[in-house]
Amino acid sequence: MADSNRFVNPYNFISLPNKKAKAYLDEDKHYGVIHYSITTKTPLFIPNSSNDNAFGCKEADHKSFDFFSYTDLSNEKNVSGKYYEPVVPGSEMRGLVRNVYETLTDSCMGVLNDDYPVKRIGAKFKPGLLHIQEDGSLSLVEAISIRIGESAKHPKEMKKFEDGDKIYFSNHEASNGRGMIRKFSKNEGAYNTCGYVIKWGLGVRKEHFHAFKASNKVVKKNMEAAAVKNMMDAIVTSYIEQPSIKSNDEDAYKSYLSSFKKFIKGDKEAYFPVNYSVVGNDIVSIAPATFSKEVSSRSLSDYAGVFTPCEEELCPACDLFGKIGDNAKGSRIRFSDMYVEKLDSNKSYYVKDFVTIDNLSSPKISNVDFYLVKPKNADFWTYDYYIERGKIHLYDGSLRGRKYYWHHHPESISFNNVKRTKLNKTIRPIKEGITFNGELYFDGISKKQLNQLIYILNTGKDGLGLKLGMGKPLGLGSVTCSVSGVEERKIVFDQDKVKYDVSSYDYSNVTYESAGLSPSVKKEFEKIAGLKSVPKQYEICYPKTSDHDKGFEWFQNNHGGRRMPDTREKMRINRALPKILENDISLPQAVNGGNSYNNNKNFKKKNGENVWKF
């Protein structure tokens, strides 16, 4: 019986081992080809990117794609009713196999971006000014924030100003204990006081702009300009990429970021208005707004430690698959495209003509509840610090590991009438039970490497599946792999002639252990790759509340619900993502803090900003 009160998150993480493995030293060399097939266990989709409106959808900014084929669809207005022979590109299989190979050989994490994780936090940021000094050094100083204008709307003269522009004004007057600027100018000498404009008021009813006036207190000296730029880039981009952002808000964010970039690479002895928050005595976060998000001090790849992509000394995966950049190395294996086993007609390969699927968002690395290892006894944790009993402890966050997706039961996957928007896509997926055949060519690899590749491409015999293509969180892309034959080519010298001797390679006894794969990840891999690992009573889906509200509300509730804490020290996380090997891998739809913020009187700050808007 289905359990409507719990769910299983679509992804989990295979733990990282204690250290990264080094490239193997085996000197034997083998040449030849592995013949293998994949069979779809759930619908599969790989897009033909030659046309991003293949089905002629009329909805604004909605994209639609046919399955990949060798047919160029760039001149087609609508391929509905036209079916082409599907192909699985070799590059797709190469990516899949490399990812698994990295995992099973304790190699580096070859695909890691340089994003700076961003997260909303319970702390009010203070006004400050970045200061580029005469010697070129960058510092942060405290500032006084003074409102410009009396009315709810900013003075129309402010249209002449951009963020960071210097503004001259008369000594500000106090009104109800709050400063206010009534008379101002761009002209030096017009008034006796100066500050720097910040044109802020996004997502709120009032649009008061402010002037930040420098104080004498320095918050931090000798800041690294590149790190500050990355921090501001990350936080403003996170706001711009919000699906629900209004066009005027988006324009304001872009304008602020543009002005900031001009400042950071501009003149000496210049100032720029920001808001800041200090963690401990070391970490300083900057942002455009008072109630904002917090950017980690380092990029995501930095938190991978020794598992960051190889540079000098290579791991087993980089040694076999190759790497680009400094110390580049060519690959010793090649994946052919995979061709479908023939059926009566091209139409018979597909689920239906086309379907619209739910929105597939980008990875939310800000969800530390899932992406980071929980420090012992921590009430709250993020990438740079954790909180235990109200005290902040600085530390280097640890990534949970390598991301893998659970397999859905085929009968749980359905394509309902999903409304088309600019966020989702219309596609033509391959149906369950379709087989594709292809080859992997190897050139001068060791027996150990060959057996490892054979094991991965033959995991279907052990009831394990791999994930391929698009839509993995929705259950798409489960495939089983099966090796049908391995041919080894050897050079034979026959008198004065060179001949090639092709013989069958016996792979019947290749196992996980005999292939020399990592013992530390075996159990986790076998569980998350298991086609039937998730009990049928649980829905595999992203977090949502019991009344099927948006997923961000689940995280709100998981952080205590009802209201955003006013300080970091009060932040907490109720539940972390269960580990793969736990008996119960499910999570409750209702977590402490309630199911909704709809009745929360403090849902918005006094300035009208939604405090939980991620």
Q: Summarize pLDDT for 511-525 with one digit per residue, the tens.
A: 999 999 999 999 999
Q: Looking at the predicted structure, is the pLDDT value of residue 265 above 60?
A: yes
Q: Given a cut of 70, is residue 176 above it in pLDDT? A: no
Q: Pick the closest to residue 445 from 457, 437, 436, 454 (CA basis).
A: 454
Mean pLDDT, all residues of the chain: 88
State both tokens at 543.
């977090």
Regarding beta strands 478-494 and 30-40, do their DSSP bridges make them parallel or antiparallel, or are they unpaired?
A: antiparallel
Closest CA to 572 of 580, 582, 562: 562
* 219-233, 271-285, 307-321, 547-561: the lowest-pLDDT one: 547-561
Instruction: Give the burial class of 344: count Cβ atoms within 10 A of its Cβ; 0-12 exposed, 13-18 middle, 19 or more buried.
Output: exposed
* Contact assessment for residue 435 and residue 429, using Cβ atoms and an 8 Å cutoff: no
What's residue 239's pLDDT?
A: 87
What's the full length of the chain, in residues? Answer: 614
Does the structure show a pLDDT above 60 at 606?
no
**What does the pLDDT read at residue 611?**
34
522 burial via Cβ count (<10 Å: 0-12, 13-18, 19+): middle
Residue 187 pLDDT exceeds 70: yes
The pair of three-digit structure tokens given for residue 333, joined into one six-digit string = 């294996």
Helical packing angle, 90-104 and 447-456, nearest 10°: 110
DSSP helix/strand/coil, 468: coil
The DSSP secondary-structure symbol of 134 reads T
Q: Quick one: which of 494, 498, 467, 493 has its CA closest to 480?
A: 467
| pLDDT above 70: residue 415 | yes
Q: pLDDT per residue over 537-570, tens digit each?
A: 999 999 876 555 566 788 888 887 667 777 888 8
598 — pLDDT class (breaks 50, 70, 90): very low
Instruction: Report the C-alpha gap between 26 and 227 in whole angstroms.
Output: 42
| Highest averaged pLDDT of the listed ranges 58-67, 177-186, 322-331, 360-369 | 58-67
